[in-house]
């Protein structure tokens, strides 16, 4: 834990990518993977949806705590041609997402919520990144579906994958945000709560 953080830190996420990013930020933390019925939380606006999901995760983690902690939760959706894309639910859905990602830019909408469980103080924010990809070949799409990692990623976008990286034309924003935990936003929110 950083000397500026008076409480233990709990990351409310089972995502190995979010855990990796928080470790890269230099924090020691515990992990509690919240149980939230994500499909029951619906919003038409992508930012509102990502925030609602991150808040629901925060509520679940805070309710499970036995002692005070600084709780960090996050969620992400992808928007492509005005449609919200969450984690693909099937190979067919993943295939459709990946085949269309070169048609137009996609946006990752990442929400972060930081809660001081002792005081109840909570702050939240959203970071949006725009991604331009070249069309992916069918063989690569099938290979990524067989690999299975894309099923843990909103919109089936796993840009840190070295096989996908050559198809990235440009990213307007930071890769850590694309991976699900925007570091600058997270650090700012942590500082606001403490």
Return the sign of the alpha-carbon dihedral for residues 163, 164, 169, 173: negative
CA distances from 14 to 10, 72, 133, 176, 184 (A): 11, 12, 28, 16, 21
Closest C-alpha to 131, from 78, 172, 100, 177? 172
Closest C-alpha to 34, from 56, 52, 49, 50? 56
- Catalytic residue from among 75, 116, 127, 176: 75
Which two three-digit tokens encode residue 113? 């919520």
The DSSP symbol for 177 reads H
Cβ-Cβ contacts under 8 Å for 16 (sequence gap 6 or more): none
| Catalytic status, residue 75 | yes
CB 143 within 8 A of CB 91: no
Question: So which residues are the catalytic ones?
Answer: 75
């Amino acid at each position: 834990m950083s000397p500026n953080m008076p409480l233990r830190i709990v990351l409310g996420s089972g995502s190995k990518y979010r855990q990796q990013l928080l470790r890269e930020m230099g924090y020691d933390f515990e992990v509690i993977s919240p149980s939230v019925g994500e499909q029951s939380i619906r919003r038409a606006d992508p930012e509102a949806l990502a925030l609602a999901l991150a808040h629901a995760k925060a509520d679940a983690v805070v309710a499970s705590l036995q002692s005070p902690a600084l709780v960090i939760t996050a969620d992400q959706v992808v928007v492509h041609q005005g449609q919200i894309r969450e984690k693909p639910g099937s190979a067919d859905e993943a295939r459709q997402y990946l085949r269309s990602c070169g048609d137009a830019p996609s946006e990752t909408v990442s929400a972060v919520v930081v809660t001081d469980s002792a005081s109840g103080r909570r702050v939240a924010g959203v970071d949006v990144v725009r991604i331009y990809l070249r069309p992916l070949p069918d063989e690569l799409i099938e290979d990524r579906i067989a690999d299975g990692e894309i099923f843990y990623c909103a919109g089936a976008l796993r840009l840190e994958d070295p096989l996908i990286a050559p198809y990235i034309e440009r990213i307007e924003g930071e890769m850590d945000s694309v991976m699900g935990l925007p570091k600058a936003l997270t650090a700012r929110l942590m500082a606001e709560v403490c």
